[in-house]
Amino acid sequence: MEEERRKVLEMLGAGTITPEQANQFLELLRTGERPPETPDQATGEAHREWPPSPPHRGHRGHGSFGFSGLDQLIQMRDHGVSVGFVREMTEAGYPALNLDQIVEARIHGLKAGFVREMDGVGLRGLPFEKLVEMRMHGVSAAFVQEMRAAGYPDLTTDELIEARMHGVSADYIREMAEMGFANLPVRDLVEARMHGVSAEFVRQMRAEGFDEISLAQLTQLRIHDISPEYLREMEELHEQMRQDAPAVEV
């Protein structure tokens, strides 16, 4: 109980809860009181809500989530949810986030500044879940601009996320273009990068005689672990078998 009491006082000091809410929770902790049982309208069975919900303050333009008990308040405090954070997200265009979304934003480092950066590159009004996903996988405004400069100005948010997840960067795009693989669908580049097709791999395979091979074919070779070393081993084996074959008398 002392630990819960301390957390309530910390949240009060930080402005996360009101004095009225703090007093209610402290009184409940002190007395151990539980609400009286009430009959369920559907089943007729007695039930009780615990902990009871503290008074709902209304969002006043700063979010519309409510509290359902001490556990939620502790969760908010543990993840650094403050009144200022909620206000910043509201001002950035997300005034109706619920408690779970507010906590999720804090966990993944989604801040108002990130929202404004996305606005600055033309990605405005994105769904909250998409913003979280972009933040989780490191899709920044700088990454969006780099991909556009590399020749991909119209990628969707899903394509940007997939490219970032699998390491398709502006540098990788330029390296593949130098190998003759320019202006390809980003999905083809993602597939190649996922399976380890690099500019060096392309050069090595061309040195083994694969001059007119497509990126999709190179990807298939990588998937099935057909490397330059494997090709040389097979060539040496073929030559050895040819030399060891008995001569045919005419």
Asked whether the beta carbons of 222 and 196 are under 8 A apart, the reply is yes
150 exposure class (CB count in 10 Å sphere: 0-12, 13-18, 19+): middle
Question: What would the mean pLDDT of 186-194 be, rounded to a whole number?
Answer: 97
Q: What is the pLDDT of residue 3?
A: 72
Instruction: Tell me the per-residue pLDDT of 100-157, one tens digit each, with 9 for 90 and over.
Output: 899 999 999 999 999 999 999 999 999 999 999 999 999 999 999 999 999 999 999 9
- HEC string of 125-193? CCCHHHHHHHHHCCCCHHHHHHHHHCCCCCCCHHHHHHHHHCCCCHHHHHHHHHCCCCCCCHHHHHHHH
User: Which 3 state secondary structure label does DSSP give 238?
Assistant: helix
Torsion of CA 103, 105, 108, 110, to 10 degrees: -150
Instruction: Tell me the per-residue pLDDT of 65-112, one tens digit each, with 9 for 90 and over.
Output: 455 567 777 888 888 888 899 899 999 999 888 888 999 999 999 999
247 exposure class (CB count in 10 Å sphere: 0-12, 13-18, 19+): exposed
The helix (H) or strand (E) run that includes residue 39 is strand 38-39
What angle, 0 to 180 degrees and rounded to 10, lies between the N-to-C axes of helices 170-178 and 186-194? 90
Neighbours of 24 (CB within 10 A): 19
Handedness of CA 99, 104, 106, 111 (dihedral sign): negative
Q: Is the pTM of this model over 0.85?
A: no
